[in-house]
Amino acid sequence: MSTAKMIDGKACAAAVKARIKDEAAKMKAETGKVPGLAVVIVGDDPASRIYVNNKRRDCEEVGFVSTEYALDADTKQEDLLALIDKLNADAATDGILVQLPLPKHLDEKSVLYRISPDKDVDAFHPVNVGRIMIGDYRFLPCTPAGVMEMLKYAEISVSGKECVVIGRSNIVGKPMSMLLLHESGTVTICHSRTHNLAEHCRRADILVAAVGVAKLVKGDMVKEGAVVIDVGMNRDENGKLCGDVDFESVATKASYITPVPGGVGPMTRAMLMQNTLTAARLHE
């Protein structure tokens, strides 16, 4: 029997997007400016196509202009970089998002580093990563920012809590740990080489699983009353969507838990809209 309260990502995302829509309408009325997001997709990866379509819908919902640049899978590196240079120089484009993964022949790093830091709405540029490190940031990576927004939405304080993050990726794990640290959490980062993972997890008041292993976190790894945030998006043995957390067993121990789907996912997209609005304000 489940005891944990669910943190509803869809409801939280709807609240965030409603606020952004109001702020964007106010900006348009006062200055005539409408936030603009350019999304670049190379090739026809089905998952990438779904993400890009969702982002376009989000932009429509909050009143942004969304422009898509769909390039062939065999696009050359120099042509992609030339497009980014053009978008960097375009006053109507506030945010530039290059949908990952890129085809193998393209150098992802040099593409991401070419995006102007003040248009880098994914917050992957080293300048923005450095700013997150010192706590003087304009943009936050969308998934960790979404997690922090969900904690705020559920009125869960981070200050003084033992926080454990499983995963050390540049996109989620590392920035997630920095954001928890900025809120005065005591942070442990675990990963594939961590010994006694369960022991670390059992100490956590707030446990964030972001490692991409289906149902890795079981109920016996979770402290009674912990807050459990599941960033994972996997398929189980039956092909059903699931997270990094074994929901059934963990929900009986946790005080709060996020579902998959309908948890962190919608928040990631909402925070992209927030970053685009922030970028538009910078350029105003």
Residues recognised as catalytic = 55, 99, 122
Can you name the residues that pair with 70 across neighbouring β-strands?
A: 41
> Residue 190: helix, strand or coil by DSSP?
strand
Sheet of strand 95-98: strand arrangement: 65-71, 36-42, 95-98
> Residue 65: helix, strand or coil by DSSP?
strand
E-strand ranges in 63-173 read: 65-71, 95-98, 162-166
Contacts of 249 (CB under 8 A, 6+ apart): 218, 219, 220
Q: Are 247 and 253 in contact (CB under 8 A)?
A: no
Other residues' Cβ atoms within 10 Å of the Cβ of residue 1: 4
Contacts of 84 (CB under 8 A, 6+ apart): 40, 96, 98, 111, 114, 115
Sheet of strand 186-190: strand arrangement: 5-6, 256-257, 227-230, 206-209, 162-166, 186-190
Residues 186 and 138: their CA atoms lie apart, in Å, by 24
